[in-house]
Structure 1
Amino acid sequence: MPTSRVQTRHITTTSAAAAILLLGVTLSGCGSTDEPNGGSSTSASSPSSQPSASSADPNAGWHPAKDEGGQFLVPPDWDVEQGDTGPQLQAPPQREGGVRVGGGSLGSSPTLDSADAIDTAAEVSLKFHKSAGLENVERLPDETFGGVRFYHIRGEDSADWTDDYGTVTNGQLITILWHFHRGMVDRKQTDELLNQVMPTFEPAS
């Protein structure tokens, strides 16, 4: 992979996470009266074959990606690294030279809890990704992980598949922004990777 592409994706990931966290904090304080597209709340259950927060035991090889808002568990062949905006969840390599298929950037910041805080944060994410030039940007039905409702924004560009999840709980705005390389995985495969990790979320106590 050319160095410039790695740097570009890193800058985009960092900018998106920072913008959503910063603007989400601001807007969640004043609230919103608009219903975003696709903002219906549904509880998503992972397939029985996928690990959950209770079955994915870190002592069995799974390891945590933690920040102030909570944690996710990742499989043994994943890595967790500390990035500029928080933990980076690195999916396993699938090509010679250790090139990875993609990963997620976890971040959180203090905010005010309100009835529409999650929808307000979702609006910020939706607008940001559209303004950043992603195509086919949409808000998918909300999903519930670890008893917490998350919004889910999905988009794409010529290089990457993008999935942006976020929630507000216990006074924290929590986001996890995923990018996967289109030349290495398709949408079905990205969903399989997401379904390994997202259901393991545990909010901070």
Structure 2
Amino acid sequence: MTPSRTGHSNARFVAIAVSAVTVVALSGCGSAKDPSGSSNPSWPASVESIETASPAAEPQAIEVNGAHIRVPSDWEVTAPSKTERATLNTPVDSSGTSYGTGTFNADITLAGDTEELAEGRLKVAGSDAKRLEDVKFGGQTFFHIRELHGGVDSLDTYGTVIDGSEVTVAWAFNAELATREQIDGYINQVMPSFKFVG
């Protein structure tokens, strides 16, 4: 592995994801496609090259302010309480490296709807950010914005507004370590499990 690949720490990914969520919270977002661009709503749970938890292992149930997701049991999750955002770290590889992280948050919002939330996020995103087609999880429409910083950090932000609350999941991956297929595979192990119970 080259130095450029090993020089990225998990802390950097967490910082990027937290920054992405913070920007979404300060900014003011509907037809469904998966992140890879396919119109097939039945996404694979994972890709062949990604190690997944044993089928017998129970996924971890995470709740933040009435928003729920399930995370594979082999992921490291930091969820201080049901009212604080949760950090989701993908499993480590044989060298002890996690390729990415997600930050799951739900809180009150000033955005009137999902479209307004997405527009606000795009205004403060980097010049390389682009909005992909919206996706549906748990019966809710989420915007999907993708950014690629310097060809190294891949950021995928999903967000929606439900009953005056915004729900966001900001994913940050090292694009030098994980392929687009792997990144989408990791995201799709979590996002389809979303539900909101208020």
2:135 pairs, out of 114, 137, 143, with 143
Aligned partner of residue 152 in structure 1, secondary structure: strand
Separation in 1, partners of 2:175, 2:22:
24
2:75 pairs, out of 78, 96, 107, with 78
Deviation readout 1:142-197 (Å, 9 max, x if unpaired): 10100000000001123211100000012211111000111210111111111111
Extract unaligned runs of 5+ from structure 1.
25-38, 52-58
1:194 pairs, out of 184, 187, 194, with 187
Indicate the residue corresponding to 2:119 in structure 1. 123
Question: Does the CA contact (< 8 Å) of 1:70 and 1:204 recur in 2?
Answer: yes
Deviation readout 1:78-127 (Å, 9 max, x if unpaired): 121137x610111111241x22010100112213674xx11111112212
Superposition TM-score, scaled by structure 1 size: 0.74
Written as runs of structure 1 = structure 2, the 5 A alignment for 1:95-110 is 95-96=94-95, 98-110=96-108
Aligned partner of residue 27 in structure 2, secondary structure: helix
Match for 2:85: what amino acid?
Answer: G
Indicate the residue corresponding to 2:176 in structure 1. 183
Question: Does the CA contact (< 8 Å) of 2:138 and 2:195 recur in 1?
Answer: yes
In structure 2, do the counterparts of structure 1 residues 121 and 69 end up closer, same or farther at CA, with 3 Å as the change threshold? farther
| Matched residue count | 175
Extract unaligned runs of 5+ from structure 2.
1-5, 34-40, 47-55
Aligned partner of residue 190 in structure 2, secondary structure: helix
Separation in 2, partners of 1:90, 1:8:
12
Separation in 1, partners of 2:14, 2:90:
15
Question: Does the CA contact (< 8 Å) of 1:21 and 1:108 recur in 2?
Answer: no
Match for 1:88: what amino acid?
Answer: T
Aligned partner of residue 189 in structure 2, secondary structure: helix
Superposition TM-score, scaled by structure 2 size: 0.77
Indicate the residue corresponding to 1:157 in structure 2. 149
RMSD (Å), alpha carbons = 2.7
Aligned partner of residue 93 in structure 2, secondary structure: coil
In structure 2, do the counterparts of structure 1 residues 195 and 7 end up closer, same or farther at CA, with 3 Å as the change threshold? closer
2:23 pairs, out of 1, 19, 36, with 19
Separation in 2, partners of 1:163, 1:62:
22
Question: Does the CA contact (< 8 Å) of 1:68 and 1:204 recur in 2?
Answer: no
Identity level (%): 30
In structure 2, do the counterparts of structure 1 residues 127 and 113 end up closer, same or farther at CA, with 3 Å as the change threshold? closer
Is 1:93 aligned with 2:85?
no
